[in-house]
Amino acid sequence: MLMFLTKRAAMTVFVLWGVLTVIFLVVRVVPGDPALTQLGPTASEEELAAFRARFGLDQPLFVQYFEFLRNAVVFDFGDSFRLGGPAIDHVMDRLPASLILAGTAMVIALVVSFPLGVRAALNPGGWADRISSVASLTIQGLPTFWVGIMLILIFARLLGWLPSGGGGSWQHVILPAVTMSLPLIGVIIRLVRSGLLEVMREGYIQTARSKGIGERVVVGVHGLRNVLIPVVTVLGLQFGVLIGGSVVVEMVFSWPGIGRLLIEAIGNRDYPVVQAAVAVMAMVFVALNLIVDLLYGVLDPRIRQGASR
């Protein structure tokens, strides 16, 4: 288990380093002079030089790179060009809103798809199976931003039940969270269904049945517990999709999260904020995947003990 953890931790550090490097490369090395893009073509040569000196842009690239890495370790991405103050502060202000939205979407997805997936697996070809196979295929094809707009059209404009955008109350969370949960629902239903179908053929399920344990307990305890591992794996990966999707959904619903901050910062060419936002999103994603790896140990004793395998 210790080996396993060390390896995972090393991988996490490696991935974070890679992400930071990509961010650095993309922002500093692609064509275009950052000083020129910030100050505009009317800036004098002195102004440009002053700007480069201030942000260390006159240093050799590898010096800039190490400076960037060193600062990134302590979450220092420089001051925002537009909003004033450290870029990271603006990102951290928005982080809770984004996490609330993603978390709610995840909960909705689990609550809807687990029962459907179980029903579909226990009765292949039945109504739940057919509904979920059609639904999971269709839902996954729907572009989230369009679904969001349609939900606004129906529930905010036509029915007037929920606010169309913004943040502040629990009603504001519902539409964006539902929008974000839809692609997940299709994925989880299919996973639970195929996982459970496979598990129910295992010997220990027969053993449990032969002991006279009720079918509910057989499915709920002996069956579902073993389905959790693939589900948790995919959920970890899906969080990346969720974070990516959150940018779009936050824009549709004017949700005050990191995604919207990122797009606004891009519009303002506020690169410190862009860097900080992308770095924080990547860190959240990597951290979640690490947690998922740790959960394996909890869910599956074989991984806990058999790490030396």
Partner 1 sequence: MTGSTLTTVAPVAPALRRRSSAPMWIAVGVLVLFVLAAAIGPLLLGYDGTKVDNAARLLPPGSVLSTGQIAWLGTDQVGRDVAAQIMQGARVSLIVGVATLILAGLLGTLIGVVSGYYGGAIDSIFMRIADIQLAFPSILLAILISAILGPSIVNVIIVLAISRWVTFARVARSATLAVKDREFVQAGRLLGAPDLSLLVRYVLPSALTSLVVVATVEFGLVIIAEASLSFLGLGTTDAMPSWGLIIANGRDYIPNAWWISTFPGIALAIVMVAIGVLGDRLRDRLDPSLA
**Phi–psi pair at 86, nearest 5 degrees:** -60, 135
Per CB under 8 A, 155 contacts partner 1: no
What is the residue whose two structure tokens read 């572009």? 143
Q: How far is the CB of 28 from partner 1 (least distance, A)?
A: 10
Q: For residues 3 and 30, which CB has a smaller minimum distance to partner 1 in the complex?
A: 30
Q: What is the CA radius of gyration of the chain?
A: 24
Candidates 19, 72, 121, 178: give the one binding partner 1 (CB under 8 A): 19
Geometric angle at alpha carbon 152, from 151 and 156, rounded to 5°: 115
Which span (15-23, 40-48, 85-93, 101-109) binds partner 1, by CB under 8 A? Answer: 15-23
Contact code string over 78-117 relative to partner 1, x by CB under 8 A: ----------------------------------------
Residue in 157, 201, 216, 309 binding partner 1, rule: CB under 8 A: 157
CB 91 within 8 A of CB 277: yes
Min dist. Cβ of residue 6 to partner 1 (A): 17
Q: Give min distance, CB of 258 to partner 1, in A.
A: 11
d(CA 269, CA 13): 29
- Note whether 180 binds partner 1 by CB under 8 A: no
Q: Which is nearer to partner 1, 20 or 219 (CB)?
A: 20
- The Cα–Cα gap between 261 and 140 comes to 26
Q: State which of positions 277-296 bind partner 1 (CB under 8 A).
A: 278, 281-282, 285-286, 289
Closest distance of CB 42 from partner 1, Å: 19
Q: Which of 10, 26, 53, 61 binds partner 1 (CB under 8 A)?
A: 26
Count of residues binding partner 1 (CB under 8 A)? Answer: 46
Instruction: Return the number of the residue (102 or 218) whose C-beta is nearest partner 1.
Output: 102
Measured distance CA(139)–CA(178) in Å, rounded? 12
Q: Which residues between 232 and 271 bind partner 1 (CB under 8 A)?
A: 240-241, 243-245, 247-248, 251-252, 262-263, 266-267
Shortest Å distance, C-beta 201 to partner 1 = 17
Using rule CB under 8 A, residue 146 touches partner 1: yes
Closest to partner 1 by CB, 101 or 219: 101
Closest CA to 91 of 285, 255, 275: 275
CB 196 within 8 A of CB 116: no
Binding stretches for partner 1 (CB under 8 A) = 11, 14-15, 18-19, 22-23, 26-27, 30, 32, 137-138, 140-147, 149-150, 152-153, 157, 240-241, 243-245, 247-248, 251-252, 262-263, 266-267, 274, 278, 281-282, 285-286, 289
